Amino acid sequence: MDSLSSIQKTNSVKQIDWKEKNIKTFGVDLSFADVPEYQRTKYVHRLHPYLGKFIPQLVEVFLKKYFKEGQLILDPFVGSGTTLIEANILNINSIGIELSEFSYLISKVKTQKYNIELLKKEILDILNKTKEFSKRLEKNQELLFKNTFNIEPSEYFKTWYHPRATKEIYFYKNLIPNYKNQDILKIIISRAARSARQIPHYDLARPKKPIKERYWCIKHKRYCEPVNNAIKFINRYSLDSIKRIEEFNRIRTSAKITLLKGDSRIIKLPTKEKQIDGIFTSPPYLGLIDYHDQHKYAYDLFGFKEYSEFEIGSPNKNGNNIKNRYKKDITACLKNIKNYMKPGAKIFIVVNDKYNLYPEIAKECNLKFVDVFYRPVLMRTERDNNKFSENIYYFVNK
């Protein structure tokens, strides 16, 4: 079944048939509907929320079935680093590529090795200093910290945050250069900034406007007040980050993780040609997620550069040619990394392919179609009622 028409016919099979096929092939239902939230976000996978990321169980199932210890796999759209983490746990070497400055930072923090004692010391030290500042704020004594808190908040923070939360976030940010583990501190305060916005508790992913008054909360089934501080989130995520990094540190293997910042369409990999055993990746979905806007608070706080002109599949790129541009971009990526892939390398692409572009892309890249799997995506954590599904394409490098 290697032709375009065969793949499209396969895509039309009813969902119940897909569920039966998945259980027969993998021994599990790929929706992972029975996996509780704490397992979906185990260890470092929850260091920072990231809309559109893999569920780690999906990556684990495919890597276990199709790859072996000591092999080398690639994720050319690494996002928040899930493939790299799961590969390491299975003692599989990995390379990840990411263009987004903020996504790269998230993956770097999740995958790097730490001096755990120094990490804990620094996280707790900056936390305690910020707690002390927060107590002074309550007593209107913030002027005692005049030399530390000296940056005028941006318009974004003035709009979306309570003044107290803004001061706490900026105070923490200004202390970061005093520490060695600056990247993890940036992730902690970014995660806190995400939660401290004055938005409904049930709409953290895509808020439309700030909430300044009491509102009915769908999540808590009661009236809630807008968030008026950040310190409770800074405290919570500081302790949580230590716990998660310690957990991953205990189970990580000696498998090598190589993280690269760059564009998969043109990047040169630090490996010899024909060395990569396979790919497991999820490219940007066409017109579905604005990867910059979902982390607007972080881009504003740290001045991360946006690469919107290079972003693949951005919903902000309108016009009749958007599908053709997307197809061209993904094709360029696969053709570039084919130079490093072994003949017979296994390629798994997880994507919401509602326009059936990937069979055409595979044909143009001289990839052999092997199979395709379907999985419904349960977007419970973001309380999104939209039905959503993914295709998992299985190709082989000719």
Report which of 283, 371, 329 is spatially closest to residue 54, judged by C-alpha positions: 283
Cβ(107)–Cβ(78) below 8 Å: yes
Residues 18-43 as b/e (b if ≥16 CB within 10 A, e otherwise) read: bbebbeeeeeebbbbeebeeeebbbb
Q: In this predicted structure, what is the pLDDT of residue 247?
A: 97
Average pLDDT over residues 95-112: 96
Higher-scoring residue by pLDDT: 249, 376: 249
- Does the structural domain 4-112+259-397 have CATH classification 2.40.50.180? no
- Beta bridge partners, 385, equal none
Q: Provide DSSP, 266-280.
A: TPPPSS-TT-EEEEE
In the three-class reduction of DSSP (H, G, I as helix; E, B as strand; rest coil), residue 162 is classed as: coil
Dump pLDDT digits (tens) for 350-379.
998 888 999 999 999 999 999 999 988 765
Query: Is this prediction's pTM over 0.85?
Result: yes
CA angle (279 as vertex; 370, 269 as ends), nearest 5? 140
Average pLDDT over residues 381-391: 62
User: What phi, psi does 155 have (nearest 5°)?
Assistant: -65, -35
CB-based contacts of 193, cutoff 8 Å, min separation 6? 161, 169, 230, 297, 298, 301
**203 — pLDDT class (breaks 50, 70, 90):** confident
Q: In this predicted structure, what is the pLDDT of residue 146?
A: 56
Query: Alpha-carbon dihedral of residues 162, 166, 167, 173, nearest 10 degrees?
Result: 160
Over pLDDT 70: what percentage of the chain?
86
Distance, CA of 310 to CA of 155 (rounded, Å): 26
Residue 112 has pLDDT above 70, yes or no: yes
Dump pLDDT digits (tens) for 133-167.
999 888 876 555 555 556 678 899 999 999 999 99
Span(s) in the chain for CATH 3.40.50.150:
4-112+259-397
Q: Which two tokens stand for residue 238?
A: 């500081």
State the burial class of residue 133 (Cβ atoms within 10 Å of its Cβ: 0-12, 13-18, 19+): buried
What ranges make up the beta strands (E) of the chain?
72-75, 93-98, 215-217, 222-224, 257-261, 276-281, 341-351, 367-376, 389-397
Report which of 194, 226, 161 is spatially closest to residue 381, judged by C-alpha positions: 194
Distance, CA of 77 to CA of 280 (rounded, Å): 9
Report which of 292, 271, 293, 291 is spatially closest to residue 282, judged by C-alpha positions: 291
CA-CA-CA-CA torsion sign (286, 290, 294, 295): positive
Residue 65 identity: K
Average pLDDT over residues 306-315: 69
